[in-house]
Chain A
Amino acid sequence: GAVVSQHPSWVICKSGTSVKIECRSLDFQATTMFWYRQFPKQSLMLMATSNEGSKATYEQGVEKDKFLINHASLTLSTLTVTSAHPEDSSFYICSARDVNRDSQETQYFGPGTRLLVL
């Protein structure tokens, strides 16, 4: 399957700082990438959809000014958690949408970024 990388894999930061997470599709171009958040023993919750060359679209309840998303190229999307607080501590996972020749869509996930805000 396709490969998606995510960096960094671990972040520990002080409350009030901003954290930037990168998501890259390594062997395919992804016009659409997704950002999820997962709390312990919970399901993946979609935060926002990142579209190359346009503004991200956010799910209900997700603050767009707090979670800044930039999809500057067909292989890179970034999520910046601004002024992070302890309640933002979570597992952040990105995925990239790949469409094959049969128009079948599959999302491939990055390895995730574990954020701990002290």
Chain B
Amino acid sequence: GQNIDQPTEMTATEGAIVQINCTYQTSGFNGLFWYQQHAGEAPTFLSYNVLDGLEEKGRFSSFLSRSKGYSYLLLKELQMKDSASYLCAVSAPNSNSGYALNFGKGTSLLVTP
């Protein structure tokens, strides 16, 4: 089966840096995605990693280590609007659809003043 683990909740202060970790155990691997989801809304795409290393995109960076089954999302210069749920998703082979996304339960991030 597929297992994606990430912390349930995190709190950080406006202007600070926060790192959200994700560990995974999947049958096959075709990339790891991070999505942001505000309450009552659909997820929006943040980043994609398929090779080891760090991908930087503005205030957001994502890291992947395939050998360790580990990724993190780094958010810098936190803003109040960054309060949301952050979903780690691993693309893995699926007998129905070729590859499918397997989602973790999400990390609810609260940014405080």
Which A positions have Cβ atoms within 8 angstroms of B? 1, 6, 32, 34, 42-46, 48-49, 51, 57-59, 91, 93, 95, 104-112, 114
Taking CB atoms, residues of chain B closer than 8 Å to A32 are: 97-98
Which B positions have Cβ atoms within 8 angstroms of A? 30-31, 33, 35, 40-45, 48, 50, 87, 91, 94, 96-101, 103-106
| Interface-centre pick from B31, B50, B101, B106 (highest chain A CB count, 10 A) | B101
Q: CB within 8 A of B99: which of A91, A105, A108, A109?
A: A105
Taking CB atoms, residues of chain B closer than 8 Å to A93 are: 42-43
Q: Contacts A43-B104, A46-B101 hold; do A112 and B94 have CB atoms under 8 A apart?
A: no
- Give the residue name and chain of the B residue nearest to A48 (CB): B96
Whether A46 and B45, one on each chain, are in contact in the complex, defined by CB atoms closer than 8 angstroms, is no
B106 to chain A, nearest CB (A): 6
